[in-house]
Amino acid sequence: MATTPSPSASYSITLSIAIDNREGTLPRVTGAISQAGGEITAIDIVGSQDDMTVREITVSARNQDHYRGIIASLREVRGIKLLETTDRTFNMHQGGKIEQHNKHPLKTRDDLSMAYTPGVARVCMAIHDNVEKAYKYTIKANTVAVVSDGTAVLGLGDIGPEAAMPVMEGKAMLFKEFAGVDAFPICLNTKDPDEIVRAVELMAPTFGGINLEDISSPRCFEIEARLKESLDIPVFHDDQHGTAVVVIAALLNACKVTGKKISDLRVLMLGLGAAGIAVTEMLEDAGVADVIGCDRKGALHTEREDWDSLDPVKQRFAEHTNKDKIGGGPNDVIEGTDLLIGLSGPGVIEAKSLAKMNADPLVFAMANPTPEVMPEEAAPFVRIMATGRSDYPNQINNVLCFPGIFRGAIDARATKITDEMKMAAARGIAACVPENEISEDYIIPSVFNREVAIEVAKAVKDEAARSGVAQETDVDTSATIDIPAVTS
């Protein structure tokens, strides 16, 4: 049985209502909203109109149809005038969510002559003489490009570069908020891997790192691999590796709760897109040896009927997973597994099938907004449950990874982000949950824990130095004075 989602701020509206001052009118308004299933989060008086008080009432709904129903219910209430309705999510995006700010004032001729001509020419020539000085005298040392072609945006699919922009702007906000990294959304009007690679290569001199985002599989694998080969700055496809890092972090602490060993786990992976493939690879790096992967046609193995039509990425996946070549759908192949990871879609697994798992089962159902199985339905069968949602415990969210991993990588002047750096990031995230507080409902830190990005950055920077991918340079990139030598 499907569970009705709870009201959420993502579907919240502000209702501007003129309410008759006679006693009993406001309770009729709030009663109508509650009766319709809305959740009132704020009521503010903003003015008056004749014998009426104007109030703004903020209401959370389950979805757009739900808040339209709430508005329809209000129109039946006597003694009010509905003046305006505002969708708070759309209102936040109006005009875009980010903007550029100058670091220095431009108020005098002196300011202008140093920031621009003629003073800027000397700085240009200093960089021309030693290109490494771009890290000191431009935004390069603290700047990441968030690059997408809009082909795999959230669960919306191929919606194009313009429609992808709100997500990329949001990503830029998270970079700045959690790690102080200046990120710029770049949405490209092409699906051609050659054009995407070339476009990123051409813009790379501006940036200290490249975050690839929402590029469809399997193209994303080729694009990332080629850019990692051609560029000397970190390239990171967050849909793959950010997800993998946070999953491993959650698993490290889940194993502490259950006493399971990662090397002993049998894992069922639901969804073999970019994230599913990358998570599996990182699980194997962490010691997992037994994985069964399912796509839309069921369990994947080297003797499946559609083998010849599979893309090379899935074929490589099949060659080192599901050694027993077990066939069937998710509800068939779940028996005897310890960990279910869902990166697919809503309702893919039946709750009763979770009873077939081994003792103390772990379920990370991360399809958003509706997971593969709802936590309420899974509760009787699982020991530890995690989702991608913020309204349940154990939210597995990429924001725990990418701000800190880029902060550490660009601070280290790393040429790439290695598997070891990703594993260090996972351990850094896991360590942000104190040992004495780890429990079934607390295996992963809150996305608002400001220590996470700091710890991840430190772990990544240290690993970059240890493994030799941190660049050594004789150019001091800190904000120190660089006075040219005086010659006679």
Give which of 228, 320, 241, 303 is closest to 276, Cα–Cα.
241
- Who's near 10: CB < 8 A, 6+ residues apart? 89
Distance CA(301)–CA(314), nearest Å, equals 9
Task: Give the dihedral of Cα atoms 102, 103, 105, 106; nearest 10 deg.
Answer: -50
Is 191 an active-site residue?
no
Containing 206, the helix (H) or strand (E) segment is none
For 173, 207, 329, 363, 401, the CA distances from 183, given in Å and listed in that order, are 8, 9, 41, 33, 15
Distance CA(31)–CA(37), nearest Å, equals 10
Give which of 297, 294, 316 is closest to 306, Cα–Cα.
297
- Who's near 291: CB < 8 A, 6+ residues apart? 266, 267, 268, 269, 280, 283, 284, 321, 322
The first and second tokens of residue 375, run together, are: 């936590």
Give which of 244, 210, 245 is closest to 227, Cα–Cα.
210
Catalytic pick among 133, 136, 140, 171:
171
Catalytic pick among 81, 116, 261, 325:
116
Q: What is the greatest pairwise CA distance in the chain?
A: 89
Judge contact between 60 and 41, C-beta under 8 A.
Answer: yes
Judge contact between 242 and 398, C-beta under 8 A.
Answer: yes
Instruction: Kindly tell me the sign of the dihedral angle through the C-alpha atoms of 125, 128, 131, 134.
Output: positive
- Who's near 471: CB < 8 A, 6+ residues apart? 412, 413, 414, 415
The first and second tokens of residue 381, run together, are: 């069968």
- Who's near 308: CB < 8 A, 6+ residues apart? none
Is 416 an active-site residue?
no
Give which of 332, 345, 362 is closest to 256, Cα–Cα.
362
Distance CA(36)–CA(76), nearest Å, equals 12
Give which of 403, 418, 406, 400 is closest to 463, Cα–Cα.
418
First CA to last CA distance, the chain:
86
Distance CA(379)–CA(357), nearest Å, equals 13
Judge contact between 13 and 59, C-beta under 8 A.
Answer: yes
Active-site amino acid positions: 116, 171
